[in-house]
Amino acid sequence: MEDLEQEYKNYWETTMFFQNQELEFDSWPMEEAFSGSGESSSPDGAATSPASSKNVVSERNRRQKLNQRLFALRSVVPNITKLDKASVIKDSIDYMQELIEQEKKLEAEIRELESRSVLLENPMKDYDCVNNISEIQLQNFPDRNVMRSKKFKQTDYSTRVQYSPIEVLE
């Protein structure tokens, strides 16, 4: 565990750190670096260098942003097996599906648990069996309906179809 973290510390973690530093300074290897004022006023002459020097820094920013995102993805997933770019995404997918499935189970358990609670409370009250469900929920769980309506109804993630994406593709 620890040596894995230590061994892979040079593996696009310090390189990312180097990139972050290189973005501040202009100390990168200076091979055919633009000679002072080559990108704005006069492209006049060689057709290769002035047009591409804008693209290379844009590409570097894009690469850095993707690495930041990948690093951020690594931080939310608890069980990372390998520090590869591909393995990080694979572990994230596994973790997400595990979360979705567990959320489905929890929701089913809540549904079961609250039906039992209604059955137990029912003989003591004089409401009918249908209406007192929301009644009980409202008086005993004030923040419950807010959560339920905000999370469950708008983005109903738990009832989506899951086609097991990583196992199919490989």
Partner DNA sequence: ACTGACACGTGAATC
Partner DNA sequence: TGATTCACGTGTCAG
In the complex, the residues that contact a second copy under the rule CB under 8 A are: 62, 65-66, 68-73, 75-79, 85-86, 89-90, 92-93, 95-100, 102-103, 105-107, 109-110, 112-114, 116-117, 120-121, 140-141, 144, 147, 151, 155, 157, 160, 162-163, 165-166, 169-170
Q: How many CA atoms lie within 13 A of 122 on its CB side?
A: 14
> What b/e string do you get for 65-95 counting C-beta neighbours within 10 Å, with b at 16 or more?
eebeeeeeebeeeeebeebeeeebebbbeee
- Among a second copy, DNA, none, the one that 28 touches (CB under a kind-dependent 5 to 8 A) is DNA
CB of 124 to a second copy, least distance (A): 9
The yes or no reply on residue 28 touching DNA (CB under 7 A) is: yes
The yes or no reply on residue 19 touching DNA (CB under 7 A) is: yes
The yes or no reply on residue 159 touching DNA (CB under 7 A) is: no
Which two tokens mark 104? 């489905």
Q: How far apart are CA 50 and CA 58, in angstroms?
A: 14
Count residues contacting DNA (CB under 7 A)?
34
Q: How far apart are CA 63 and CA 15, in angstroms?
A: 12
Q: Which of 153, 14, 160, 169 is nearest to 83 (CA)?
A: 14
Q: How far apart are CA 109 and CA 105, in angstroms?
A: 6
Instruction: Give the interface segment with DNA, choosing from 47-55, 116-124, 134-142, 148-156 (CB under 7 A).
Output: 47-55
Residues at the interface with DNA (CB under 7 A): 7-8, 10-12, 15-16, 18-19, 22, 28-29, 31-32, 48-49, 51-56, 58-60, 62-64, 66-67, 83-86
